[in-house]
Amino acid sequence: MLAPLAIVQTEAQPAAVIHITVARDKIQEVMGPAIMETMAAASAQGIGPIGPVFAHHFGMTPGVFNFEVGVPISSPMTSVGRVKQSELPAAKVARTLYTGPYEGLGDAWSNFIDMIEAQGLTRAPNLWERYLTDPSTTPNPADYQTELNHPLL
């Protein structure tokens, strides 16, 4: 289920991230450990997380994900292991809210892109999603909420 499309201006958000390039079918193997690692690094430095976990994709090559998984932080961080400082960019974005299980995100993105193109808007190559629901406290995947953001040119 998708909410109506909205156009918003985002502010740059500093973040603790891990950059990952992985085959699409391996995403579930790498995502969880990377989230835990970024959260631990931000927490150990007392700078976060100050918002929901996100995945910032730099392009959508068939079969491969090239992205950063991370958490927002309140101040600069010292790199530790794979965790580095980055940011979600300031951008004019098309935004919607998807409610449902993570397995439905592919279809949600496809429908969202159709909504954007139906408005005659031009998409940038990058996009990000923010995971607004914590699966450890929300047992029903049908109730998960994921914010979809697609920068516009």
- Residue-range domain boundaries for the chain: 6-151
Give this prediction's pTM. 0.93
Confidence bin at 83 (pLDDT 50/70/90):
very high
Confidence bin at 16 (pLDDT 50/70/90):
very high
Taking only the tens place, the pLDDT of each residue in 34-72 is 999 999 999 999 999 999 999 999 977 888 999 999 999
What is the CATH number that goes with domain 6-151? 3.20.80.10
Taking only the tens place, the pLDDT of each residue in 19-28 is 999 998 898 8
Cα 119 to Cα 125: distance, rounded to the nearest angstrom: 17
| % of the chain with per-residue pLDDT over 90 | 90
Q: What is the pLDDT of residue 136?
A: 86
